[in-house]
Chain A
Amino acid sequence: MNANRVVGCEMEPEAEALASSRSVLHLGGETATVEALLAIGRERWEAHQAHRFPALLGICDVEMLSLQLTAIVDRHPAMFCAADTAPLLMCDAYIAANGAVNGSVETGSHSVEPTQWPEGFAVLSSGTLGAPKVIWHRHRDLLATGSMVMRRLKLTTDDRVLVTVPLHHMYGLGAALVPALLASAEIHLLPKANLLGFNDALRAFEPTLVFSTPHLLRALLRRKSESLSACRGIVLAGDAIPPMLHARARQVFNQVFDLYGSSELGVIALSEPNLPQALHPLEGVRAFPADRNSEQSNLIVVHPHAATHIAQHGAISVVPHEWDTRDIATFNGSGGFSIQGRADLSLNRAGKLLVLAELERTIMGWPGVELAVAIVLDDETAAGKAIALVIKPSADTLTINALKQLASTTLPTFARPDRYILVPDLPCLGSGKPDRNTIIKDHCHG
Chain B
Amino acid sequence: MDKNQIIDIVKKILAEDLDLNISYEQIGDEASFLEDGLALDSISMAEFIDHVERRFAIRILDEDLDAATFKSLGSVVSLIQKRSADRRPVAEAL
Chain B 1-36: CB-based contact to A (< 8 A → 1; otherwise 0) = 000000000000000000100000000000001110
A430 to B40, CA, bound (A): 12
Interface residue? B94 (CB, 8 A): no
Tier of interface size on chain A: 20 to 34
Chain A 404-433: CB-based contact to B (< 8 A → 1; otherwise 0) = 000000000000000000000101101010
Tier of interface size on chain B: 20 to 34
Cβ contact within 8 Å between B41 and A224: no
Cβ contact within 8 Å between A196 and B60: no
Q: Considering residues A194, A199, A219, which has the most beta carbons from chain B within 10 angstroms of its beta carbon?
A: A194
A395 to B33, CA, bound (A): 26
A55 to B51, CA, bound (A): 39
A424 to chain B, nearest CB (A): 9
Interface residue? B52 (CB, 8 A): no
A219 to B44, CA, bound (A): 10
Tell me which of B34, B35, B42, B61 contacts A198 (CB under 8 A).
Answer: B42
Residues of A within 8 A of B60 (CB): 223
Q: A194-B45, A195-B46 are in contact. Are A224 and B40 (CB under 8 A)?
A: no
Residues of B within 8 A of A428 (CB): 43
A128 to chain B, nearest CB (A): 15
Cβ contact within 8 Å between A215 and B66: no
Chain B 42-61: CB-based contact to A (< 8 A → 1; otherwise 0) = 11011101000000000011
Cβ contact within 8 Å between B45 and A195: yes
Q: Which residue of B lies closest to A196 (CB)?
A: B67
Residues of A within 8 A of B33 (CB): 196
Interface residue? A222 (CB, 8 A): yes
Cβ contact within 8 Å between A196 and B70: yes
Interface residue? A197 (CB, 8 A): yes
B6 to chain A, nearest CB (A): 20
Chain A 198-209: CB-based contact to B (< 8 A → 1; otherwise 0) = 111001000000
Q: Which residue of A lies closest to B42 (CB)?
A: A194
Interface residue? B93 (CB, 8 A): no
A193 to B45, CA, bound (A): 11
Chain A 172-206: CB-based contact to B (< 8 A → 1; otherwise 0) = 00000000000000000000111111111001000
Interface residue? A403 (CB, 8 A): no
Cβ contact within 8 Å between B42 and A195: yes
Q: A194-B41, A196-B65, A199-B65 are in contact. Are A219 and B70 (CB under 8 A)?
A: no
Cβ contact within 8 Å between A219 and B45: yes
Interface residue? A11 (CB, 8 A): no
Tell me which of B19, B43, B66 contacts A199 (CB under 8 A).
Answer: B66
Interface residue? B62 (CB, 8 A): yes
Tell me which of B42, B66, B70 contacts A193 (CB under 8 A).
Answer: B42
A226 to B61, CA, bound (A): 12
A216 to B46, CA, bound (A): 9
Q: A196-B66, A199-B62 are in contact. Are A222 and B46 (CB under 8 A)?
A: yes
Residues of B within 8 A of A218 (CB): 46
A199 to B61, CA, bound (A): 11
Which residues of A are at the interface with B, using a C-beta cutoff of 8 A? 192-200, 203, 215-216, 218-219, 222-226, 425, 427-428, 430, 432
